[in-house]
């Protein structure tokens, strides 16, 4: 009985070693396939981003509009900022307000910056 179990264990060890030998090239091939798939996914992501950029609706950024107004029409935005950032606006910021009434509308505040101006209705 003991010798039969030893023979069974030895036989199973031999069969496992044979399977490991068969599995090794398959694992190597899977590794190669995984690397190729990873490269293709990265390439696809790059192409998809490029497609999205090229398909996007053309637009002009706010930064470009501001620079255009400054350079073409001579707008002085630093002067306008100083005009908006009055002592009352600073006090509203310090008090944690989310807006302050000025010039027939409201300057919206989010933390320390003034984020927009909304005309009164």
Looking at the predicted structure, is the pLDDT value of residue 116 above 80?
yes
- 69 in any annotated domain: no
Residues 50 and 3 in one domain: yes
- Residue 95 domain boundaries: 76-119
Whether 36 is in a domain gets the answer yes
Give every CB contact of residue 97 below 8 A, 6+ residues apart in sequence: 109
pLDDT score recorded for residue 121: 76
pLDDT at 90 over 90: yes
More confident of the two residues 103 and 42: 42
65 in a domain, yes or no?
no
Q: What percent of the chain has pLDDT over 70?
A: 100
> pTM of this prediction?
0.51
54 and 85 part of one domain: no
What pLDDT does residue 103 have? 86
Q: How far is CA 37 from the centre of its chain?
A: 23
**pLDDT tens per residue across span 68-80:** 999 999 999 999 9
Residue 63 above 90 pLDDT?
A: yes
The three-state secondary structure class of 9 is helix
Mean pLDDT confidence for 85-102: 95
Residues 3 and 48 in one domain: yes
Does 67 fall in a domain? no
Residue 27 covered by a domain: yes
- The domain tally of the chain equals 2
| Residue 102, Cβ density class (10 Å: 0-12 exposed, 13-18 middle, ≥19 buried) | middle
Please check whether residues 54 and 9 belong to one and the same domain: yes
Domain-located, residue 70: no
Q: Which helix (H) or strand (E) holds 102?
A: strand 99-102
- Please tell me whether residues 1 and 47 are part of one structural domain: yes
| Domain end marker among 31, 58, 85 | 58
pLDDT digits (tens, 9 = 90+) for 26-61: 999 999 999 999 999 999 999 999 999 999 999 999
Residue 109 lies in a domain: yes
Same structural domain, 2 and 52: yes
């Amino acid at each position: 009985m003991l010798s039969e179990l030893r023979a069974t264990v030895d036989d199973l060890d031999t069969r496992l070693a044979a399977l490991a030998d068969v599995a090794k090239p398959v694992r190597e091939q899977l590794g190669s396939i995984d690397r190729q798939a990873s490269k293709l996914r990265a390439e696809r992501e790059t192409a998809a981003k490029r497609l999205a950029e090229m398909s996007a609706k053309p637009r002009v950024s706010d930064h470009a509009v501001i620079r255009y107004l400054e350079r073409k029409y001579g707008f002085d935005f630093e002067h306008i900022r100083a005009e908006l950032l009055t002592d009352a606006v600073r006090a509203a910021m310090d008090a944690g307000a989310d807006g302050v009434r000025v010039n027939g509308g409201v300057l919206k505040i989010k933390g320390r910056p003034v984020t927009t101006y909304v005309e009164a209705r």
